[in-house]
């Protein structure tokens, strides 16, 4: 018991081991298995083994990552994004910073950075709340003279829909407005196809209770709410905070109220950069991957 306690204390004090082991435990490795591995290997061999174990846990190539999709690969998407966050903290210039595995519990879920689809609204009250929130954001945004007519027309359609009696609104009418709002807040050249909406370039991790507040809002509104949460002291994962504050997008490409191809590309490139050491080669099949 004393030896185990000393080993765990050493792992906690060693910043590299703390993050590597913390991630593995979070995604399914047992503490006892890691202790056994540490006791049968040299220090340097154990460190290499942690990389190998992470590769096995992910069991992904860069091509595999590009094909991961929300709804089909949620567990894998979550593990990749968690690793990005852990590595972001570990490789930061602040050598005193540590990822909070204590704060990262089972109440986290995948969040679309930009809204996904109108089918997620199960109740009329949810649709009305969404329309009111986005009407306010549209009214607060400076669209320029070139878009005035289209924006005014969209606001008229939103108002007309909200003025309908309770129970008289229709799904088709809401979906048409939903798509128009998404299009208005989408950057030029953005493709609203499944690949762009549900790939890792449009996903982040957020606490489930916070996720429910932001779900299906356009980027501009989510960004505003995330900033408010950050100012209020809510716990946000570093990469989630970074993505909504647009830290990954070059300053020359900044459009703070829009989430477009340049934003997705920059975010996805950073993700690959952080997890690349733990990916299998594209021409390699994983053998003996852990469940």
Range of the domain at 175: 121-184
Please indicate, yes or no, whether residues 197 and 214 belong to a single structural domain of this protein. Answer: yes
What are the C-alpha distances in Å from 287 to residues 24, 46, 280?
18, 20, 11
Please indicate, yes or no, whether residues 197 and 277 belong to a single structural domain of this protein. Answer: yes
Q: Evaluate whether residue 63 is within a structural domain.
A: no
From CA 225, how far away is CA 243, in angstroms rounded? 13
User: pLDDT exceeding 70 applies to what percent of the chain?
Assistant: 86
Kindly state the average pLDDT of the residues 239-246: 93
Domains in the chain, number: 3
Kindly state the average pLDDT of the residues 217-231: 87
Please indicate, yes or no, whether residues 147 and 273 belong to a single structural domain of this protein. Answer: no
- pLDDT of 261 reads 84
Q: Evaluate whether residue 136 is within a structural domain.
A: yes
Please indicate, yes or no, whether residues 28 and 109 belong to a single structural domain of this protein. Answer: no
What pTM did the predictor assign?
Answer: 0.82
Please indicate, yes or no, whether residues 78 and 218 belong to a single structural domain of this protein. Answer: yes
Task: Say which range, 67-76, 171-180, 233-242, 253-262, has the weakest mean pLDDT.
Answer: 253-262
Burial of 253 (0-12, 13-18, 19+ CB in 10 A): middle
Please indicate, yes or no, whether residues 136 and 231 belong to a single structural domain of this protein. Answer: no
- Contact between 138 and 95 (Cβ < 8 Å): no
Residues 117-156: pLDDT tens digits? 666 677 888 888 889 989 998 998 888 888 899 999 999 9
Residues 23-56: pLDDT tens digits? 999 999 999 999 999 999 998 999 999 999 999 9
Please indicate, yes or no, whether residues 132 and 179 belong to a single structural domain of this protein. Answer: yes
Task: Assess whether pLDDT exceeds 70 at residue 189.
Answer: no
Please indicate, yes or no, whether residues 36 and 158 belong to a single structural domain of this protein. Answer: no
């Amino acid at each position: 018991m004393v030896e185990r306690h000393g080993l765990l204390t050493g792992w906690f004090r060693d910043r590299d081991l703390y993050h590597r082991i913390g991630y593995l435990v979070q995604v399914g490795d047992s503490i006892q298995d890691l202790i056994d591995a540490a006791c049968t290997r040299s220090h340097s061999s154990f460190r290499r083994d942690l990389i190998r174990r992470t590769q096995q846990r992910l069991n992904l190539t860069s091509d595999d990552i590009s094909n991961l999709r929300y709804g089909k690969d949620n567990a894998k998407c979550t593990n990749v994004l968690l690793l990005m966050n852990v590595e972001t903290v570990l490789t930061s210039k602040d050598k005193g910073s540590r990822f909070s595995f204590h704060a990262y519990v089972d109440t986290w879920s995948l969040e679309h950075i930009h809204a996904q689809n109108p089918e997620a609204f199960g109740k009329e009250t949810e649709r009305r709340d969404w329309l009111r929130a986005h009407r306010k954001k549209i009214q607060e945004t400076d669209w320029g003279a070139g878009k005035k007519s289209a924006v005014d027309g969209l606001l008229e359609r939103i108002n007309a829909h909200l003025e309908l009696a309770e129970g008289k609104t229709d799904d088709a009418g809401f979906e048409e407005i939903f798509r128009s709002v998404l299009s208005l807040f989408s950057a030029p050249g953005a493709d609203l196809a499944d690949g762009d909406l549900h790939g890792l370039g449009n996903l982040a991790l957020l606490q489930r209770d916070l996720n429910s507040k932001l779900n299906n809002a356009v980027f501009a509104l989510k960004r505003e709410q995330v900033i408010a949460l950050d100012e209020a002291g809510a716990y946000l994962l570093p990469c989630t905070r970074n993505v909504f504050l647009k830290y990954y997008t070059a300053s020359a490409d900044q459009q703070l109220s829009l989430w477009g191809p340049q934003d997705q590309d920059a975010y996805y490139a950073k993700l690959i950069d952080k997890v690349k050491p733990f990916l299998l080669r594209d021409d390699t099949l994983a053998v003996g991957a852990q469940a």
